[in-house]
């Protein structure tokens, strides 16, 4: 839950956009209205981070933590690895990848 009195926010700040209490994405604040409403990805939030544009609130905002940044980086790397065609690597590269994989498991 946001508390702009403790930590003021401004346009361009990074924030966590949370969907249904679980799926978290790091986004930038598009703008803050004169009444303190926060706009992120065309979704309007109250100053405390609750979605205002829906009868059933699916989105909320939270401050970015170091754990959020680490999780985001990990998800990005995992996705990139999953999209990589191992057939495109030569044998030496595959041997190094294989060693790293053995160390991590």
Whether 18 maps to a domain, the answer reads yes
Q: Which domain holds residue 100?
A: 67-104
Nearest to 24 by CA among 51, 73, 62, 52: 62
Model pLDDT for residues 56-74, shown as the tens digit of each residue: 768 899 999 999 999 999 9
Whether 6 maps to a domain, the answer reads no
pLDDT at 105: 63
pLDDT at 16: 93
Nearest to 78 by CA among 104, 46, 43: 104
Model pLDDT for residues 5-29, shown as the tens digit of each residue: 567 889 999 999 998 877 889 999 9
Whether 90 maps to a domain, the answer reads yes
Query: Which pTM was predicted?
Result: 0.71
Same structural domain, 59 and 76: no
pLDDT at 30: 97
Nearest to 77 by CA among 59, 93, 100: 100
pLDDT at 23: 82
pLDDT at 6: 62
Same structural domain, 26 and 54: yes
Whether 83 maps to a domain, the answer reads yes
């Amino acid at each position: 839950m946001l508390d702009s009195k403790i930590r003021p926010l401004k346009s361009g700040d990074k924030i966590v956009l949370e969907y249904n209490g679980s799926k978290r994405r790091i986004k930038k604040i598009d703008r803050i209205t004169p009444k303190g409403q926060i706009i992120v990805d065309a979704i309007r939030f109250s100053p405390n981070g609750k979605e205002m544009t829906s009868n059933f609130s699916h989105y909320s905002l939270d401050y970015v933590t170091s754990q959020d940044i680490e999780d985001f980086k990990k998800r990005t790397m995992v996705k990139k690895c999953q999209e990589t065609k191992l057939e495109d690597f030569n044998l030496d590269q595959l041997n190094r990848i294989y060693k790293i994989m053995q160390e991590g498991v």
